[in-house]
Amino acid sequence: MKKKIDYNSIAPAYASHRKPVLLALRELEQRVGLNDRSKVLEVGCGNGAHISLLVNATKCLGMGIDPSPQMLRHSANVPGLELCVGSAEKLPLSEGFFDLVFSVDVIHHLKDTRAYFGEAFRALKPHGAMCTVTDSEEIIRSRNPFTVYWPGTVQVDLARYPPIQRLREQMASVGFAEIEESQIEMPYKIIDSAPYRMKAFSCLHLISEQEFLNGLRRLEQDLRKGPVPGLMRYVCVWGRKLQV
């Protein structure tokens, strides 16, 4: 039977150990030109870490939506930011309101990505932008530390993550134009096994417990010798709503 993840139960681990992807936020700021007049929606915001930083940095009006009440309970109280429970495939929001709709490492959790793109298109203002920050097949096959310590996560995530070409086709089918990709990457050092031990990454919940423990043991053995190299990589899939 396919394993399911209860995000309400793992919300504390996510809140404690998942860090915002700062390069993705920089990409959003620079490409869209966010300012204090911008209205921005993060879909699948979790504890609101990304949208909170965007609101603080640009003074935009921010909103985040997530299906997990427990995730939202771990969010900070930020002026200019509203967080609410809701579904990406049926956004409880007005038409033509946002300048930017984005998600970070969320698209593989959605049941109907085309429905989400249709809802994002509806919620955007004319000339508004959409960005999906996700993993490509090539990234999944070469992720460090996951492919090194938990190689079973490769097949798990290849089955979960929609191919980039499918996302592009679905976006075009609901009306998005100027669809393009950019890539971000940053090497980093792993100095603590806690995020992995606490399974703050959903793919670790979907492999066998034996593989998880074996990989964790090897990671902790290597950490006793010093920091372990990691590489953060993402694809950003962009689109514009050109209709007026």
**pLDDT tens for each residue of 193-235:** 999 999 999 999 999 999 999 999 999 999 999 999 999 999 9
Helix (H) or strand (E) holding 50: helix 49-58
Structure confidence at residue 140 (pLDDT): 97
Structure confidence at residue 77 (pLDDT): 83
> What is the rounded CA–CA span in Å between residue 219 and residue 55?
36
Structure confidence at residue 181 (pLDDT): 97
Give the count of beta carbons closer than 10 Å to the beta carbon of residue 209: 9
Structure confidence at residue 244 (pLDDT): 62
Of all residues in the chain, what percent carry a pLDDT higher than 70? Answer: 95
For the chain, which residues score pLDDT lower than 70?
A: 1-4, 10-11, 15-17, 244
- Concatenate the DSSP letters of all residues of 60-108 into one string: -EEEEEES-HHHHHT----TTEEEEE-BTTB--S-TT-EEEEEEES-GG
- According to the CATH classification, is domain 11-240 in 3.40.50.300? no
> Is 0.75 surpassed by the pTM of this model?
yes
Structure confidence at residue 201 (pLDDT): 92
Structure confidence at residue 1 (pLDDT): 40
> What is the rounded CA–CA span in Å between residue 32 and residue 139?
25
Structure confidence at residue 203 (pLDDT): 94
Domain ranges for the chain, please list them.
Answer: 11-240
